[in-house]
Amino acid sequence: MEALKHLFGIADLSKEQIEHLVNLGDSFIDINRRPIKKAPTLRGKTIINLFFENSTRTRTSFELAGKRLSADVINISASTSATSKGESLLDTGQTLAAMQPHVLVIRHSLAGTCEFLAEHLEHTAIVNAGDGAHEHPTQILTDLLTLKQAWGSPEGKTMTIVGDISHSRVARSHLLAAKKLGYHMRVVAPKTLLPSEVERYGCEVYHNFDEALPGSDVVYMLRIQTERLTDACAFPSIREYHEAYGLNAKRLKAAGEDCIVMHPGPMNRGVEISSDVADSLKSHILNQVEHGVAVRMAVLATLCGGHPEEKPVSKKKSSDEVKQAQGSLL
Ligand code: ASP
């Protein structure tokens, strides 16, 4: 398997690399559930999280992932960085890289930010924590770990993804992952929130939510990405959007007994999802959050060359070492 230098998007990963990261994430879940949540895997490594867009889950889980693997982790947000004083993205990137971090985790509203910086910062691994409407690879790895836990493998399953497909990096990255891993995608949205030629991803397209539900194994709800919405008339009103594209317990019944519900967060209750679904046993939304930490541990460990099996350096000397030391005293 080709070694991973950066993580820009699902588009660049092979099936083998995706499965490796998901399986490694699986092996890290346990560390997060222990009373002492610490492993030495990334001791001596430095990770900088540079976030130009808001985030709760992704930023916190990258921070926890690094700290639980014993790395030194620094967080910088746009409002506290020198970009708010007029510094360019490239100058900020080069400044941080000059401090010799091993990994730079970046979230930015511009698609392609990570690739652009990687061209200029030779010795720093770069992780895309979400770039505009382009890609969000660690969210998809998180979801795949959640599906692995629920079903073993996503192969042959049907994921119905609903909402603002046009502006969602999560939807785009899932469409790319589905082709590689063999799960089937249905996209559901009003015409105004669907990218043109979305069918080229090999998905089924629906404008009527109720028609898409039978046969779905997972219903994946998306938030309307208001921060990226330029068209004020994408839908008539929140109330009408909720009626047509909101998920509630009654509507979910059409999907069948075993169907599960996912959402990358943040949820807008009463818009794309109702509390009777979000808080139900069918919801795997908090599992996604938990798995997000484990998967980001896997990404950081892979990029830094760390391995979960790496044992802490034992302070206890072997009997040979003791004999040697005693010999040198004679
Ligand atoms: N948290 C996800 C993202 O950053 C989804 C969302 O914001 O709606 O893309």
Based on the fold, state whether residues 241 and 150 are members of the same structural domain. Answer: yes
77 and 151 housed in the same domain: no
102 and 200 belong to one structural domain = no
Output the domain CATH number for residue 279: 3.40.50.1370
**Residue among 139, 273, 295 to mutate when testing ligand 1 (max atoms within 8 A of CB):** 139
85, part of any domain: yes
pLDDT tens track for 116-153: 999 999 899 999 999 999 999 999 999 999 999 999 99
Q: Is residue 56 part of a domain?
A: yes
pLDDT in the model for residue 170: 98
In a domain, 327, yes or no: no
What is the domain extent for residue 164? 137-284
Select from 44, 45, 110, 53 the least CA-distant residue to 299. Answer: 45
Q: What is the pLDDT of residues 85-120, one digit of tens each?
A: 899 999 999 999 999 999 999 999 999 999 999 999
Tokens found for residue 49 = 């999280």
Domain presence at residue 319 = no
Ligand 1: residues with CB < 6 A are: 130, 136, 169-170, 223, 264-265
* Pairing label, strands 204-206, 218-221: unpaired
Q: Which ligand 1 atom is the nearest neighbour of the CA of 169?
A: 9
What pLDDT score was predicted for residue 8?
A: 98
Residues 69 and 146 in one domain: no
Query: Is it the case that residue 195 has pLDDT exceeding 90?
Result: yes
- Determine the Cα–Cα distance for residues 295 and 140; give it in Å rounded to an integer: 10
**Considering the chain, what percentage of its residues have pLDDT values greater than 90?**
85
pLDDT digits over 210-253, tens only?
999 999 999 999 999 988 887 667 888 999 999 999 999 999 99
Q: Given ligand 1 and candidates 134, 167, 170, 285, which is best to mutate, with the most ligand atoms within 8 Å of its CB?
A: 170
Instruction: Please check whether residues 106 and 184 belong to one and the same domain.
Output: no
CB environment 124-150: b (16+ within 10 A), e (fewer): bbbbbbbbbbbbbbbbbbbbbbbbbeb
Q: Do 127 and 162 fall within a single domain? A: no
Residue 4 lies in a domain: no
Is the domain of 86 the same as that of 145? no
How many structural domains does the chain have? 2
The H helix count followed by the E strand count for the chain is 12, 9
Flag whether 152 is in a domain.
yes
The reported pLDDT for the residue numbered 320 is: 55
% residues pLDDT > 70 (the chain): 92
